[in-house]
Amino acid sequence: MSGLADLGRFEEPAVLVLTSLAERPRHGYAIVQDVQAVAGVKLGPGTLYATLARLEARGLIEGLPAEDRRRPYRITGAGLALLRQRLQRMEAVARTGLARVAGT
């Protein structure tokens, strides 16, 4: 299985989308709204759907049957494990960075 590092410039959007889906399944517009509310980032349609396609191709999310022309997605077990690992690494970097900034 490929990790988030393989996503290159899509890594940040991938983390944001996986974080949104960790709460519950969502369709594209609901993901965009959640990401904007949580992270203050507005994902454009091109970025969103390219990210969804890459995550689905890697088995990190899966599409569910469409509801009223909207296709929801849910995170898989592999997606949860990878998200947890990435967020823990980001947390460690943030702690170190904040400590270093405070010491200056």
49, 56 Cβ separation under 8 angstroms: no
Model pLDDT, residue 71: 94
Structural domains of the chain, ranges and CATH numbers in brackets = 4-102 (1.10.10.10)
Own/partner pairs for 45-48, CB < 8 Å, 24+ apart?
A: 47/10, 47/13, 48/13, 48/17
Helix (H, G, I), strand (E, B) or coil at 101: helix
Q: Tell me: the pLDDT tens digits for 29-81?
A: 999 999 999 999 999 999 999 999 999 999 999 999 998 889 999 999 999 99
Q: Is 13 exposed, middle or buried, given 0-12, 13-18 or 19+ CB atoms closer than 10 A? A: buried
CA angle, 40 then 44 then 48, to 5°: 95
More confident call, 60 vs 5: 60
